[in-house]
């Protein structure tokens, strides 16, 4: 019986040695052989995605120019017919305050698509509006 236990213990030790030996980092030649046998995957070269700034449509939302003109009329006391739109172009503003934020104001820190509108009254005075989605501001 003792002979059988000794044989069993030796067999276990031998098996354990083989298992642990297979886990050890033997040498670079074995690693090279494993790498050579590993399947390779060739990746297609793709262009990196490009980031672009949001763009506002070239034409203003319905009623925007009329709302600006009505606001300008209230601000100046002149009738809406006194103003001529001399410039209207799409712009990308640097933040939610349309680039007009003052110290301490809370502005979203994202590019905002919008418009710049410039009106002129009969005396030649120009009034600039900045607009974004859903709001506009007289740039004083």
* Greatest Cα pair distance in the chain: 119
Specify the pTM.
0.59
Q: How far apart are CA 105 and CA 120, in angstroms?
A: 29
What are 109-131's pLDDT values in tens digits?
Answer: 999 999 999 999 999 999 999 99
Q: How far apart are CA 119 and CA 83, in angstroms?
A: 6
Locate 74 and state its tokens.
């209230």
Per-residue pLDDT of the chain (140 residues; tens, 9 = 90+): 555 554 545 454 454 444 445 555 555 555 544 444 445 555 555 555 555 666 766 677 889 999 999 999 999 999 999 999 999 999 999 999 999 988 888 989 999 999 999 999 999 999 999 999 889 999 98
Q: How far apart are CA 18 and CA 67, in angstroms?
A: 84
Q: Domain residue spans in the chain?
A: 2-37, 64-139
Neighbouring C-beta atoms of residue 119, cutoff 10 Å: 23
């Amino acid at each position: 019986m003792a002979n059988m236990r000794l044989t069993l213990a030796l067999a276990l030790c031998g098996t354990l040695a083989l298992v642990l030996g297979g886990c050890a980092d033997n040498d670079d030649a074995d690693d090279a052989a494993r790498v050579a046998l590993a399947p390779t995957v060739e990746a297609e070269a793709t262009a990196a995605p490009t980031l672009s700034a949001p763009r506002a449509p070239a034409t203003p939302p319905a009623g925007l120019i009329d709302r600006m003109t009505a606001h300008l009329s209230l601000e100046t006391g002149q009738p809406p017919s006194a103003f001529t739109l001399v410039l209207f172009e799409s712009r990308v503003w640097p933040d939610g305050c349309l680039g007009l934020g003052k110290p301490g104001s809370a502005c979203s820190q994202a590019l905002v698509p919008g418009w710049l509108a410039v009106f002129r009254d009969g005396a030649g005075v120009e009034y600039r509006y900045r607009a974004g989605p859903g709001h506009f501001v007289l740039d004083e």
